[in-house]
Amino acid sequence: MAGDLLKENVVHAISTQELERRWAAVRDVMKQKKVDFLLIQNSEDYLGGYVKWFTDMPAVHGYPVSVIFPAADEMTTFWHGSSHPKEAGPAEYLLRGVKKRVTTPIMLSLNFTCSFAAEKVVDELKGYKKCRISFVNEGAITTGFTRYIREHLSGATFVDITDEIDEIKALKSPEEIERIRYSAYVHDEAMKACFAAIKPGVREYEVAAAGRFRCRMLGSEQQFILIGSAPAGSPFPYHSIHAMNRQLRDGDQIGILVEAVEPSGYYTHLHRIACIGKVPDDLAQAFEIEKELQDLNLKLVKPGAHPLDLLKANNAFLRSKGLPEERRLYAHGQGYDLVERPSVQVGETMTL
């Protein structure tokens, strides 16, 4: 029955076999590191992919979702909702590998609710006096959650195996690779829709809306689309919808960045520049340099490569062309997170 509901209501659920593969790999690490419980929390599905990776359900709209992942038992989840136990959600069939669902009326805009989920976590774990706990990416978890748990589980030992979890998460299975390929198709379709919308008089947000609508019609749950435009030869920033009101004109160049998920939640991204009219010579020249740099990077991207070596090579090439160095990041992994490890920037330790 649960399987029928999952198939009927979820556009594309990841397989139970894939979830079990992840759980087993994580529990192997927990056994090696003598960790009894992982505590996981996310509140959105742009850079909050841990909850989705463990449960196949995304955290959305800024409402925190917390998970207890035991080394030797099924999960307990904590979502926003009624505090009545009989009204706990989400629906049971949506949460495979979960033995207990707890909901509380937690909302980050209401400061007095910020420890609500943590109080319930403590209730679940207070019987494990000397347990070993790892928060997963603690720096990204709300302080109200972590502080309360540390204060009220004073007998526990807190360790950090986030790096080990990230290593497992970064290496994609055959099923995940197939979903990423489909995500690339979704991006191709979204970009086609954006290009079809481009003409003088159209506003930037209308171009983005065309791409977003195409993604939605292909089952995408989340879309991050940035547009920038300017007269030929002028630089342009990329804007979110807040500043995407500029009207396109003859001779403009338009940049489009699409980063969306396909129906099972996997991101990839696609960037293109369009011109209304003739392609400026300097833009065409820059495009040729970019292709040369892309070829260089493809030769460097191989198992065992260190991101900092890629960054140095990238910046050396840019300097050789009289161009500014990359000071942010120029490449990164993707999966359930729009930006995922390994990333090519200062501070990254994970190799490819």
pLDDT digits (tens, 9 = 90+) for 130-183: 999 999 999 999 999 999 999 999 999 999 999 999 999 999 999 999 999 999
Q: Which residue in this structure is represented by tokens 């928060």?
A: 135
pLDDT tier at 85 (50, 70, 90 boundaries)? confident
- Domain boundaries, given as residue ranges, for the chain: 2-170, 174-343
Question: pLDDT, tens digit, for every residue of 212-262?
Answer: 999 999 999 999 999 999 999 898 889 889 999 999 999 999 999 999 999
- Tokens representing 214 are 């195409």
pLDDT tier at 3 (50, 70, 90 boundaries)? confident
**Sequence letter at residue 347:** G
Adjacency order of strands within the sheet including 267-275: 223-231, 252-261, 267-275
What percent of the chain has pLDDT above 90? 93
For 10-159, where are the alpha helices, taking DSSP H only?
16-33, 50-55, 116-125, 143-152
Whether 216 contacts 303, CB under 8 Å: no
What's the confidence (pLDDT) of residue 1? Answer: 63
Question: pLDDT, tens digit, for every residue of 312-343?
Answer: 999 999 999 999 999 998 899 999 999 999 99
> How far is residue 101's CA from residue 43's CA, in Å, rounded to a whole number?
17
Residue of higher predicted confidence among 4 and 31: 31
Summary mean pLDDT of the chain: 95
| Topology adopted by domain 2-170 | Creatine Amidinohydrolase; Chain A, domain 1 (3.40.350)
Whether 314 contacts 301, CB under 8 Å: no
C-alpha R_g of the chain: 23
What's the confidence (pLDDT) of residue 330? Answer: 86
Pick the closest to residue 229 from 214, 207, 211, 212 (CA basis).
207
What's the confidence (pLDDT) of residue 263? Answer: 96
> How far is residue 214's CA from residue 218's CA, in Å, rounded to a whole number?
6
Q: Which residue in this structure is represented by tokens 């790999």?
A: 25
What's the confidence (pLDDT) of residue 29? Answer: 98
What's the confidence (pLDDT) of residue 190? Answer: 98
What's the confidence (pLDDT) of residue 251? Answer: 96
What's the confidence (pLDDT) of residue 60? Answer: 95
Question: pLDDT, tens digit, for every residue of 293-319?
Answer: 999 999 999 999 999 999 999 999 999
**Class of the CATH-defined domain 174-343:** alpha beta
Q: Which 8-state DSSP code applies to residue 46?
A: S
What's the confidence (pLDDT) of residue 233? Answer: 86
What's the confidence (pLDDT) of residue 196? Answer: 98
Mean pLDDT over 25-48 rounds to 97
Question: pLDDT, tens digit, for every residue of 107-118?
Answer: 999 999 999 999
Predicted model pTM: 0.94
What percent of the chain has pLDDT above 70? 99
Residue 2 clears pLDDT 90, i.e. is over it: no
What's the confidence (pLDDT) of residue 4? Answer: 87
What's the confidence (pLDDT) of residue 86? Answer: 87
